[in-house]
Amino acid sequence: MQKYNTPGFLGRLPWGLLENFLVAAEAGSIRLASERLGVNHSTVSRQLTTLEEHLGKPVFDRFSHGLELNSFGHGLLEHVKTMDGGFDALTMYLNSVGDEISGAVHITLGDSLLPSALPAIGTLQREHPGLEVQFSVSNTLARMEKGEADIALRITQSPPDHLVGHQLAYLQVADYVSKTLFATVDSPDENHYPWVIWDLDVSMGEARNFDERYAGKHIACRVDSSTAMLGAVKAGLGAGMMLCLFADREPDLVRLQPPMQTQAIPLWLLYHPQLRTSAKVQAVVAALKGVFKDG
């Protein structure tokens, strides 16, 4: 049985313990919390125990299926959420001030967009050597209001209303196959090829009824990233749909048809409204706009 000290004078609670508690409460399990925090399972468990010892009472009821807040934990959660919002607002304010193009800017984007973005960022950094750019490659939109990223490049039909959004282009897509497989099949008929298709949970923006398009065709495998799609197609597993700006640069691929206009997908650049006044963020925004304006 866990023993707890009498709380008495609590002193200053380390914010790291409270942030760990907030994530665990929202996740509902130590495993999910550890994934979101990017730390191991034992670290989350240890920090929760430390918090409860510091408070003098438990905040969770622990079950085999996960964590459930007790009444004390529910009350604590409301206060921690208020504090978390204050920290978010402070962080956003600090990021929004300053007229120098220097310091860190965090960009989140899909892996198919990264090769196109890198040269422009390199040019910008040569002009402003104090600028540091962090890239997070993900298909999930970061919580911009929590400072998880400053800028997001997202392929989506429905950008969030609470962010500043610039539609940069409609990106063209087409079907590609490796030169080796193309030579083996020796036919322009798409029905003669096996197919590598997108997992419906990720696709390229939205699923857009991709499964209907491949009805009756031989499905070799499904993938959940552009890097995986490119690797599978280059390896000859089958033909696959990819962004033209991503696949056209690959000399070992053959495009099976012109870009499919009905499948063109909008690319959005997103950032928090408070970052309109950040010189470093706006410099990166301008650089990225120049990259994708032609789709």
- CATH code for the domain in which residue 123 is found: 3.40.190.10
The CATH number assigned to the domain holding 28 equals 1.10.10.10
List, in order, residues 6 or more apart from 246 with CB less than 8 Å away: 112, 113, 115, 116, 226, 230
Whether the CB-CB separation of 138 and 110 falls below 8 Å is answered with yes
Q: Is 66 a domain residue?
A: yes
> Does residue 68 fall inside a structural domain?
yes
pLDDT tens-digit series, residues 224-277: 889 999 999 999 999 999 999 999 999 999 999 898 877 788 999 999 888 888
Q: How far is CA 120 from the centre of its chain?
A: 20
Give the contacts of 168 (CB within 8 A, at least 6 positions apart): 153, 267, 268, 269, 288, 289, 292, 293, 295
* Amino acid letter, 266: P
Full domain range(s) for residue 281: 99-162+271-292
In a domain, 10, yes or no: no
The per-residue pLDDT of the chain, averaged, comes to: 84
**Is residue 7 included in any domain, yes or no?**
no
Tens-place pLDDT, residues 75-100: 888 888 877 666 666 666 666 566 78
Residue 255 sits in the same domain as residue 182: yes
Give, for 100, the enclosing helix (H) or strand (E).
none
Whole-model pTM: value is 0.68
Structure tokens at 232: 């599978």
Confidence (pLDDT) at 116: 92
Same domain, 136 and 278: yes
Cα gap 70→25, rounded to integer Å: 11
- Residue with the larger pLDDT of the pair 160 and 145: 160
Question: Which of 283, 288, 19, 290 minimizes the C-alpha distance to 147?
Answer: 19
Q: Is residue 4 part of a domain?
A: no
Segment among 66-70, 116-120, 193-197, 198-202 with least mean pLDDT? 198-202
The span from the CA of 56 to the CA of 108, in Å, is 40
Looking at the structure, do residues 59 and 115 belong to the same domain, yes or no? no
Give, for 125, the enclosing helix (H) or strand (E): helix 114-127
Q: Does a structural domain hold residue 3?
A: no
Do 225 and 187 belong to one domain?
yes
The number of distinct structural domains making up the chain is 3
pLDDT at 208 over 60: no
Please tell me whether residue 270 adopts helix, strand or coil conformation: strand
